[in-house]
Structure 1
Amino acid sequence: MKVVNLKQSILQAWKERWSDYQWAINIKKNFPKGATWDYLNLAEALMEQAMIGPSPNPLILSYLKYSGATVF
């Protein structure tokens, strides 16, 4: 269930063209530490969404890069 909500959050961020910083704030707010999902699900969900279409989505890849560079 959480992964579905996570994917919805990723799509919302993409549709609204959130900055990396906005995305990190919203993901932290909606999915706090200790939640039942883990960061591997986050990376996997981001990769799935980024690879839809003929070429990787640079905005979603930037979310993945930012999440790897920061500690939630």
Structure 2
Amino acid sequence: MPVRVDITGVTGIAAFGSGAYATDTTGSVLAWGDNHFSQLGPVPDPTITQSTRPLRLAGVSGAGTLTAGGYGTAFLRS
């Protein structure tokens, strides 16, 4: 079921399967959705199995172009 996600400063967005991702004006990557196979990447709390709110991925900076598909997500540093 779709859930409204409130985020500002979005510069890019991508989604696949059960995960969604966005880059913002600070160069961060935000992720939300399932995390059963670490789709949310390095989240602040590794016990999180899913999130309906965007989580800022730890250790990611300078993100530019974002893409998602198949079994992964990738971004280019700007």
Same fold (TM over 0.5): no
Compare relative contact order (CA 8 Å, sep 6+) and give the higher one, 1 or 2. Answer: 1
Structure with greater proportional helix content: 1
Structure with greater proportional strand content: 2
The TM-score, its normalising length taken from structure 2, stands at 0.22
